Chains A and B, each alone.
Chain A
Amino acid sequence: DAKTTQPPSMDCAEGRAANLPCNHSTISGNEYVYWYRQIHSQGPQYIIHGLKNNETNEMASLIITEDRKSSTLILPHATLRDTAVYYCIVRVANFGNEKLTFGTGTRLTIIP
Chain B
Amino acid sequence: NAGVMQNPRHLVRRRGQEARLRCSPMKGHSHVYWYRQLPEEGLKFMVYLQKENIIDESGMPKERFSAEFPKEGPSILRIQQVVRGDSAAYFCASSPGAGNIQYFGAGTRLSVL
Contacts and interface: CB of A to CB of B under 8 A. Distances in A.
Chain B: interface secondary structure?
A: strand
Chain A: interface secondary structure?
A: loop
Interface in A79-112: 87, 93-105
Interface residues of B, number: 29
A49 B101 contact: yes
B55 A98 contact: yes
B107 A93 contact: no
Nearest to A93: B99
Contact of A93 (B4, B55, B56, B98): B98
B56 A97 contact: yes
A110 B82 CA distance: 39
B42 A102 contact: yes
B56 A46 contact: no
Interface in A7-32: none
Contacts of B89: 41
A99 B33 CA distance: 8
B101 A46 contact: yes
A44 B109 CA distance: 14
B43 interface: yes
B42 A104 contact: yes
A99 B45 contact: yes
Interface in B85-113: 89, 91, 93, 95, 98-107, 109
B73 to A, nearest CB: 21
A67 B105 CA distance: 34
B63 to A, nearest CB: 21
A105 B99 contact: no
B59 interface: yes
13 contacts: A42-B106, A49-B101, A93-B100, A94-B99, A95-B99, A96-B55, A96-B98, A98-B95, A98-B98, A99-B58, A100-B102, A103-B42, A104-B41
Interface of A: 36, 41-46, 49, 87, 93-105
